[in-house]
Amino acid sequence: MNFSKLDGLLNRIKALGQKEICVGVIAKTASRKDQKARFSNAQIAAVHEFGAPNKGIPARPFLRSTLIRNKQVYTEALATQMRKSVKQRQSAEQAYQAVGLKAASDVQHEIRHGAHTPLKTTTIQRKKSSQPLIDIGQLHQSITSIVRDINES
């Protein structure tokens, strides 16, 4: 009996369970390109996601709502990707990256096209747009995903 193939399969399966996908504004994308910016992309995302009632800013969730709504889609996609990994068509890292890229893309789509609370008239006049969550596009561009080992959490 060839145990080296079995050992290889067991190692691939073990590697699949040692990863997690993080989606959102990751530390490396949190800073703003404008050096005079008062807030990072992560801070701006948090304000929009949860709102700031004391500042008159309603919650406009785009991250949690997208990930929750698509949870089953991501679960099925990860299962498909993992099967490819077990069959040695890709690494465990690639399996997770594929699903992370899809989730980040979905969040960006939600920022652009989601049904968010409309902006106040004064905000529309200031930014010359009625599009919530997008001013100059840096928050949208900062949404990404990373794959990391579970023990890095």
Average pLDDT by consecutive 10-residue portion of the chain (153 residues)? 63 72 87 78 94 95 96 93 80 90 98 94 92 91 92 67
CA end-to-end distance (rounded Å), the chain? 39
Q: Name the pTM for this structure.
A: 0.84
User: pLDDT value at position 28?
Assistant: 76
Is residue 70 within 8 Å of residue 103, measured between CB atoms?
Answer: yes
3-state secondary structure of 103: helix
Q: Which amino acid is at 102?
A: K
Can you tell me the distance from the alpha carbon of 128 to that of 113, in angstroms, rounded to the nearest whole number? 18
- pLDDT value, residue 44: 92
Q: Which pLDDT belongs to residue 19?
A: 83
Interhelix angle 71-86/3-16, rounded to 10 degrees, is 160
